[in-house]
Amino acid sequence: MKTILLGRQPHNGRRGFTILEVLVASTVLILILGVVLSIISQTSTVTRRATDKISSFQAARAAFDLISQNLSQATLNSYWDYDNPNAPTRYLRKSELHFLIGNAGTAPFGGTAGTGQAVYFQAPSGVTAIPATYGGLEALLNAVGYFISYGDEDSLPSPFPAPSPKYRYRLMQAVQPTENLAVYSNTTGNAWVSSANSLAVPVAENIVYMAAWPRKSPADDAEGSVLTSNFSYDSRLNATISPQPETANQMPPVIQVTIVAIDETSAARICTDPSVPAKISSAVSGLFLASSKTQFDADLVLLENRLGGSGINFRVFTAMVPIRESKMQ
């Protein structure tokens, strides 16, 4: 017969955690989890911001490439002819086409004042009003224009409801179909520009400034001030006088294109009403009035400082675009 002893059982060398140990372990675990979650949150925020910034500037990059491509194809089809076929006295360089750069928002240029330059030209873009008939002709001549406009987005036609106002800077592209080219009916002025403007559509939002600088190559003109002193260019200006200026019915060899884009977050914060945002207008105030490399570089740095100081996220795209058909030496 076995005897059962009541009372304390023999110690086997193992014991449970005390309440204090459990509390310490839980506290350490909570701290570790807090650090991990904080790192995950910060990483997610940085990734989201980087993704938003990339997507915000993708449209700007695409628009910049579009301008560069179309500008490089600009043409004037210049030729030599008598000044007066009935009573000729000399030869002149002539063209029915037109290459024109001027300040946006001033007649006849489209766009909003203070957004840089508007540029207009003809190029074989192949756009036709009757694609079924002429769609296969890829070298059809078109009038093309670019400028920046600030305002609300266009409403959809009835019966779609009117959207809430969305005020933004928009880079506009005007392409006049081959059948409607007005430049041939206005061979001495620039009235064709207004008819082209009526066809303008946005190609990118949040482009707040565009500089189109006609110049010779840096090797031939380091400061870029030979062809213009204020970024303007008109291939028809003084084209009938003798001697003709170098720019008469000729295109510049190079256009230096610079665009300044802001991200959507910044745009949503400052573009809230029909008035041009003061943070943008004040940032560009007094800048880019003289077209020389020294002044342009200084103005661009000042613009970047002003935008950054206002808490605006931005990006600058710039490139020298060679005009392939330019005959200027």
Round to whole Å and give the CA distance between 53 and 299.
24
Predicted local confidence at residue 9, as pLDDT: 53
pLDDT above 90: residue 229:
yes
What 3-state class would DSSP assign to 322? strand
Task: For residue 172, give the nearest of 140, 211, 199 by alpha carbon.
Answer: 199
pLDDT at 309: 95
Give pLDDT tens digits for 125-154: 988 888 777 767 778 999 999 999 999 987
CA–CA gap between residue 269 and residue 312 (Å, rounded) = 9
Distance CA(259)–CA(328), nearest Å, equals 26
Q: How far apart are the first and last CA of the chain?
A: 124
**Distances from the Cα of 307 to the Cα of 32, 221, 267, 282, 297, angstroms:** 40, 30, 12, 9, 16
Give the pLDDT band of residue 277 (cuts 50, 70, 90). very high
pLDDT at 150: 96
Average pLDDT of the chain? 89
DSSP assignment of 54-111 equals HHHHHHHHHHHHHHHHHHHT-B---EEEES-SSS--SEEEE-S---EEEETTSTT--S
82-124 pLDDT, tens per residue?
Answer: 988 888 889 999 999 999 999 999 999 999 999 999 999 999 9
Distance of CA 270 to the CA centre of its chain: 18
* CA gap 258, 288 in Å, rounded: 11
The per-residue pLDDT for 156 is: 57
- The structure's pTM equals 0.82
Give the β-pairing of 91-94 and 207-215: unpaired
Confidence check: pLDDT of 157 > 80: no
Kindly report, residue by residue over 172-208, the tens digit of the pLDDT: 999 999 989 999 988 888 999 999 999 999 999 999 9
Domain boundaries, the chain: 57-152+167-322
Mean pLDDT for the stretch of residues 57-68: 93
